[in-house]
Amino acid sequence: MSDRILVPHDGSEQADAALRFALDTFPDASVVVLHVVEPFAEHTDAGVENGGRWRERAREFAESVFDDVRDLAAEYETTVDTEWRYGRPRHVIVRYATETDVDHVVMGSHGRDGIDRILLGSVAEIVVRRAPVPVTVVRTEQLDEEEK
């Protein structure tokens, strides 16, 4: 039985599916939802206008993600802890799982958009290979089929 579950969340449908899976599968566990902000990944205006503007937008997006996550957890009559960090998601997630008392990682198979969707999802693939705890990768296609 896992006591503390880490669910990386980027605001995507896949991340929501992973959170639902974690809440269904581990109803008595403490769930930590981690949002990772990748500095300058899509912030080409970092040196233009106001250098801190991207940081504020990232913070606002993280809070929006957490609002949705809290609403989802409320559907299960529970709460989740939320944290966000700066860095490359594949590295931050593994580091978080290594440095905290996480017993299990549950994550979506793909993130939001882009070239990372070609394979398993490069973030998910790296986490599966490097995390010091078991990792469950949830595919939304798999869940859709099970519901039919």
SS3 18: helix
43-65 average pLDDT score? 72
132-145 average pLDDT score? 78
45-71 average pLDDT score? 79
- Collect all residues with Cβ–Cβ distance below 8 Å to 107 and sequence separation of at least 6: 7, 8, 15, 18, 93, 123, 124, 127, 135, 136, 137, 138
CATH of the domain at 138: 3.40.50.620
C-alpha span between 83 and 32 (Å, rounded):
7
Instruction: Convert the pLDDT of each residue in 88-113 to its tens digit.
Output: 999 999 999 999 999 999 999 875 45
Please tell me the total count of domains within the chain: 1
C-alpha angle 105-100-9 in degrees, rounded to nearest 5: 40
User: Domain limits at 88?
Assistant: 4-147
